[in-house]
Amino acid sequence: MYAIVEIAGQQFKVETGKKIFVHRLDAEEGQEIKFDQVLLVEEDGKITIGEPTISDAWVDGLVLAHPRGDKVIVFKKKRKKGYRVKNGHRQNLTHVEILTISGKGAIERKAAPAKAVKAADASATEATEKPVKAKKAPAKKAAEAEAEVPARKAPAKKSSEKKPAEKKTAAKKTSKSKE
């Protein structure tokens, strides 16, 4: 038997006897906690899914300790700018042991018979097809369609011949005459 529970904004898959680390909770060591945000319960192959949570289902846990997590290094750098910043932190955690999972009184989904589902789908598609009729656009002839598309110009060809460069002496003479 297992359950998926939302604890402190995160979802955890829990089983009886399992120990998990969650974000710091406001509870003392040795105190029992009840988690009522149960999203899914599986018991002997029977799965119950909540919408969004299962009513009358909860998970009991025992707070073992309030440790801190491993240090996480946050390093920022921008190349060629001389910008470097190094920070770090340790997350505050709560060590919880799962005692019991209670899924009693949960709403169970019953699967509809396959024949009834197929019949319902067929009647729904027939009902939607009758009132909706699409109008067909008149078909255009191929010649008319080609006439509407403007003809593309061919790309200009690059000339492979080199033009002779102007003489630099002529340019110097003009600049001296301006002075």
Q: What is the pLDDT of residues 63-95, one digit of tens each?
A: 999 999 999 999 999 999 999 999 999 999 999
DSSP string, 64-92: EE--EEEEEEEEEEETTTTEEEEEEEEEE
Sorted by sequence, the CB contacts under 8 Å of residue 30 that are 6+ apart come out as 62, 63
Distance (Å, whole) CA 48 – CA 40: 6
Whether 111 has a pLDDT exceeding 50, the answer reads no
Sorted by sequence, the CB contacts under 8 Å of residue 55 that are 6+ apart come out as 105, 106, 107
Nearest by Cα to 38 from 123, 132, 106: 106
Report the percent of the chain where pLDDT is more than 70: 58
Q: How confident is the model at residue 114 (pLDDT cuts 50, 70, 90)?
A: very low
Q: Torsion over CA of 133, 135, 141 and 147, rounded to 10 degrees?
A: -130
- Identify residue 73 by its one-letter amino acid code: I
Distance (Å, whole) CA 63 – CA 132: 61
Question: pLDDT (tens digit, 9 = 90+) per residue, 156-165?
Answer: 666 666 667 6
Q: What pLDDT does 153 receive? A: 66
pTM above 0.85, yes or no: no
Alpha helices in the chain (DSSP H): 114-129, 142-148, 168-178
